Amino acid sequence: MSDLVRTGVPGSPQRSLGDMLGWDPFRNFFAGASGVFGGIEINRSESGGYTVEIPVAGYKPDEIDVTLEDGVLTVAGKSEKRQFTRSLLLPDEIDGENIGANVEHGLLTLTLSVHPKAQPKKIPVNYQA
């Protein structure tokens, strides 16, 4: 919830706006204070990679750019009326060549795969007489 609280009434408990309304209309504005990462949800997938969900309601797919540079994944949206940018520092285990992006129902879902594990290589032993 946000840090917005009811004040000015002596003796009344301080409650957040979200507690009073049952939802917090300012949750994205106070993301740093609430511990939410700007509307980003990150989950570990069953395959060992990650799924990242970012709300992009009101943006067309061609108004959203996803870029990877120096291990930083950046998602930027720009329409006629508004814009946003979110950046994530990716761990070394993420395979930058296999990042998927899909937008559906106002939600951008990024699929981050991990590098394939290196397979042991059998080295033949030669014999020379």
Closest CA to 53 of 99, 103, 108, 101: 108
One-letter amino acid at 53 equals E
Residues whose CB falls within 8 Å of the CB of residue 70, separated by 6 or more in sequence, listed in order: none
- Residue 48 has a pLDDT of 77
Q: Give the pLDDT band (50/70/90) at residue 10.
A: very low
* More confident site: 50 or 32: 50
* More confident site: 45 or 28: 45
Cα–Cα distance measured from residue 104 to residue 107, given in angstroms and rounded to the nearest whole number: 5
pLDDT above 90 as % of the chain: 43
Contact 96, 74 (CB under 8 A): no
pLDDT of 99 > 50? The answer is yes
DSSP class of residue 63? G
The token duo for 66 is: 């996803």
pLDDT of 124 > 70? The answer is yes
* More confident site: 85 or 116: 85
What domains does the chain contain, in order, with CATH numbers?
A: 1-7+14-36 (no CATH), 39-114 (2.60.40.790)
Contact 51, 112 (CB under 8 A): yes
